[in-house]
Structures are given as structure tokens and as C-alpha cells.
Amino acid sequence: MSMGGGRRGSRVSSGDVAAQRAANAEAPRIPNLLPRIAELFRPHRTPLIITIALVLVSAALSVIPPLLTQQAFDRGLFPPEGTPNVPVLLQLVGAMLVLWLVSAGIGIGQTYLTSTVGNSVMAQLRVRLFSHLQAMELGFFTRTKTGIIQSRLQNDVGGVAGVLSNTVSSVIGNTVTVIAAFIAMLILSWQLTIVAVILLPVLVIAQRRVGQVRARIATKTQESLSDMTAITQEALSVSGILLAKSFYRQQSEVDRYRLENDVQRGLQVQLSMSGQWFFAMVNVFLSVIPAVIYLVAAWLIQTDVAVTAGTIVAFTTVQARLTFPLMGLMRVALDLQTSGALFARIFEYLDLEPRITEAADARDLDPAQVGRIRFDDVVFRYPDAADDATPTLDHVSFTVEPGQFVAFVGPSGAGKTTISYLVPRLHDVSSGAVEVGGVDVRELRTHSLIESIGIVSQETYLFHASIAENLRYAKPSATDAELEAACRAASIHATIESFPDGYDTIVGERGYRLSGGEKQRVAIARVLLKDPPVLILDEATSALDSVSERVVQTALDGASRGRTTIAIAHRLSTVSAADVIHVVDGGRIVESGTHATLIGRGGVYARLVEQQSADYDRSASNSAM
């Protein structure tokens, strides 16, 4: 959890600024996004066509009852002969009832289809975004807060759910209803129709303006939601809680969350109120029209224009039926403009190009050569580093033969871990080449490369699941006997058996229910279950106490036997038996040799050993006092 300040008290890194570029800008116009939104519905063409057909039928049927109402008045209630015609009236009322029942049935089917299609599109969009993020290089995740990524998946995709579910049916149904109602109004009286629609262009112009305002507020709202999600992820993780409690900073975390929550509350109120005056104006306009129509009808009758009571009743009925679809269309238009910000944020992530991709002609590793690793004049700079910055690795060359145990030591920040990241191609070199099995890793299939490499890092990650489930992450098909064999080899089987639930023990968030040494040995067992020919140990014991270190080191010695092993070491005693030790300093290999050879040279390695010995003696002396 970083301690830097940021917007409204949230912690925003330089990487987050790049990741939120689209969110900080005004949302693009929805017409630019419509082709991409429409593409999301392509796999659901059949149910969508059925939905459209139902919508068209339903919309067409909705304007027939007002015409039947006119006939009921003019032919049933008030016929020319003066006496109500009950048989005709019964026929017309029966026809209305049938139409309403049919419309209700169609509405149920339409709702089911639109809900199914909309939620399917949303679910596929979320999986597509998650899958795309899985393909991004490691550097993307080191630059971007986890909470920001989570917000794109949850808040942004969830925010467009209503648009995906209801837009198609709403637009088509309401458009057809409006057109049909307009035609019916013209049939009844073109004079009254002019009165009813004369101010609609003003409403359309106002709607566009309201939509632009809502889009800007929606952009800020999603940005604030991203910050809230990031704060939650940081502060409520096990590491965040431990840090807050260790420094008694719980209240500051609450204050930080409350501050962002107040911003979110204000934005939500603005978003809710931004269109209220517009819809209030629309409601007043549509509510006043019937009264105006009565006045205009009276004037028409006085000027000898043929307007019957049935025509007036039917016209106001049609006009009333026009109210809801017209309001629906305007709401959809506003929703589309508002959701443009959300779609822009989603498409921004989908448009990200992974910096590390598999070549079209990539090939598999040769099993006979898989253990040989070679760095050929490798230079590496992190992608976000300045062009004139000192490279993290500067012309590094070495070779690891199959079955060799090679260690890399040196001061912090020298570039040791970066070397271990380049072998499985978690990063790509800036120049030079990294070869595994005699082939540049950029020419290998990712699956083939990763399957041949096992990594045990200092920061062991375990899922909130059982020990068995964590182990089977390496080999889902592993039998109980294979789990036990791997755990015996990692010196953790007896410990697991001592737990009440054995291999079904839940390890907790990030494995916090286990000790550091226990977590490391479970991680070693997980790698052994994978059984890779190449093993990378990235300071796997540096965070452990001396007792746990000895147990874990014994497990690591057994795990590395018979495998090509690259060990990144902080404690030099753990690699003194290595076949070759490379000393890294300032991004370069400054010394190479065995432990005895390097001690005899009296160089950097000898000074590091001497310094660690002095630190150990000083620590032992303080403990004895």
C-alpha cells in the first residue's frame, strides 16, 4: 500500500494515470461506438430477430385499440340512429380484450428474450475483458492498481447491463409505436396532429444537451467508483489490514474511504438530477396537449370541420399512448449517451495490445535441449523507463547447462530478479536474446516454454482454498498419491497431516493461516507436482527465520536435484554449493565462479560474504545479551 497522495486523497500512481486516460476524458460520441456495440449482439442474431419480430407485432397492435375506441363511440355508443348498438359494441370490446391478451403474451416472451440476450452479451463481454487482461504482460499489472482493473470488470460492465438488455427492444418497439401512433393521429385528424407534435423538435434539442451533461457526469462517476474499488482492495486485503493495524491507521483509512464515498454520493445525485428537469418539462408538455386539443377541436367544430366525439376521444387516447414510448425513446437516448463513458472505458482495455505476444510461426521446445539456458548480450529497460535511463540489465551474457545449479547474487536493485523474469518471458529483452533449449524464447510457443519452467518466489501466493486445491493448480489431474509424494519431497506432508482437515485445510487469504515456512514448502510441492526440467528460485528463503530457512532450504535442495536451476539469492550461504555463482552489480555480471574461487579473488562476492558474516555475528551477539 503506497503512501503517496492523489486526487481527493486516493493513491494514484503514474501507471494508473495511463490506465485511466479514457476515463479522465469526455466520453466519445455514442455514434462512434454503435458499430462496436452492435457487434456484441452478432452471436445472438436468431433470438434477436425473434425479439424484433415480437416487438414489431406488439407495437403495431398497440395502436389498434384507440381506433376501435373511435368505432365504439361513433358506431356503438353514439351511432347515427341515436340508440346504442349493443351487438356492435360487444364485438368491438371483445376485439379489444383479445388484442390486450395477445399483447400481454407477446410482452412476456419479449421480456424473456431481451433479458436472455442482454445478460448473455454482458456475461460474454465480462469474460472477454477478463480473458484479454489475462493476456496482458506482467508490466501492465505492476503499473495498474488491482482495484482499477476490478472496477472495469465489475462497475463498468455492470453499468451497461441495462443498455445491453433493454436498448434493442426499447428502441425498436417505441419507434414503431411512435410511428404507428403518428399515422393513426394523421388518419383521425391532421389538424390536431400538428398541434400535438409542434414542440417535439424543441424537446429533441433539449434531450441532446441533457445527454452531453449526463455523459460527463457518468465519466466522473465511474472514475470515482474505480478509486473506491482500489481503496477497498488495498485497505481490506489481509496485507492492508495488517499495515493499518500495525501503524494504528484504521481511522485514516476510514476517512480516506469516506472522502471518496462523499464524492461518489455527490456525483450520483448529480447524475440522478441531471435529467429530471427535462423529463418534468416533457411530462408537462404531454399532459397539457389533451387540454389544448379540446380547445382546438372546439375551434375546428365552430369552423365547420368534421370532428366527432369519437375522433376526439380516440385522438387523445392515441396521444396518451404516444407519451410512454416517446418518453422511452428519450430515456434510451439519454442512457446511450450516458453509457458511452462506460463503453469507452471497456473498449479502452479491450484495445490494449499486449507487449508480449506469441509469434505466428512459434514452435515447441525440443525436450532433449530444454534444460539449456543462454543469455546473449541482453539489454533490458522497463517499457515506462526514460530513453536515457540506465538499463536494468546492461549487456548480460551467460550460459546455464542442463542440470547445472547457477546462482545470481548481488546488492538489492542490481537486476537479479529481472534475469529470472526474462527466462519465462514475463518481460521481453530490449536487445540481445534469451535462449531456452537453443531457441530464442520469442520464437517459442508460450505454453511449451512455461510448461518447462517452475518458479518459487519470495512472495508465495496461495488462493483462499484448500491445500489440495492450491497444489492441483499446477496439475489439475493429480491424484492424492501424487500430492502426497510432492509434499513429502517438499518436507511438508507431515505438517499437513497434523492439521485436523489435512489436505482439505483452507489456507485463508493469500495463505495467511500458514506460517511463512509452511507456505513456501507448499509452493515448492506445487512446483514439484508440475515436475519442470527448469527451476527458478527467486530469493525463496530470504523472508524466513533461520529455522524455517533450514527446513525450506533442504526442500529446495531436493527439488533442484536433477534439474537446471537458477537461484536468485540474498543469503549467500544458501548458494555456496552452486556450480556457478554470478555476481550482478549495476545491471552487469561483474564476477563469475564457484564459492571458493570468488572468495579467493577478494572481489565483490568476498566483500558481500564478509559483510553478511559480520551482520550475522552482530545479530548473534545482540541475541546473547
Whether 186 contacts 319, CB under 8 Å? no
pLDDT at 238: 63
Look at strands 405-409 and 564-568 and give their pairing.
Answer: parallel
Tens of pLDDT, residues 539-593: 877 656 666 777 777 777 777 888 899 999 888 888 888 899 999 998 999 999 9
Residue 201, SS3 per DSSP: helix
**pLDDT > 70: percent of the chain:** 81
Report d(CA 310, CA 76) in Å as an integer: 10
What are the cell numbers at 612? 553478511
Tens of pLDDT, residues 277-308: 666 777 777 677 777 777 777 777 777 666 77
Which listed CATH number (3.40.50.300, 2.60.40.1180, 3.40.640.10, 1.20.950.20) goes with 454-531? 3.40.50.300
Sheet hosting strand 405-409, strand order edge to edge? 453-457, 534-538, 564-568, 405-409, 580-585, 588-593
Is residue 620 predicted with pLDDT exceeding 60?
no
Residue 20 main-chain phi, psi, to 5 deg:
-105, 15
- 29 pLDDT band, cuts 50/70/90, is low
Residue 473 main-chain phi, psi, to 5 deg:
-60, -30
Using CB atoms within 10 A of its CB, is residue 215 exposed (0-12), middle (13-18) or buried (19+)? buried
- CATH 1.20.1560.10 correct for 31-350: yes
To the nearest 5 percent, what fractions of the chain are helix, strand and coil? Answer: 65, 10, 25
Structurally, at CATH architecture level, domain 362-452+563-625 sits in 3-Layer(aba) Sandwich (3.40)
pTM above 0.85, yes or no: no
Tens of pLDDT, residues 522-552: 988 898 888 889 989 888 776 566 667 777 7
Whether 265 contacts 290, CB under 8 Å? no
Residue 406 or 336, more confident = 406
Question: Helices 309-350 and 86-134 meet at what angle, rounded to 10?
Answer: 10
pLDDT at 212: 67
Same CATH fold assignment for domains 362-452+563-625 and 454-531: yes
Domain boundaries of the chain, sorted by first residue: 31-350, 362-452+563-625, 454-531
Report d(CA 420, CA 457) in Å as an integer: 10
Tens of pLDDT, residues 175-207: 777 777 777 777 777 777 777 777 667 666 666
Q: Which amino acid is at 413?
A: G
H or E element that contains 27 = none
pLDDT at 490: 85
Q: Which residues contact 7 (CB under 8 A, 6 or more apart)?
A: 227
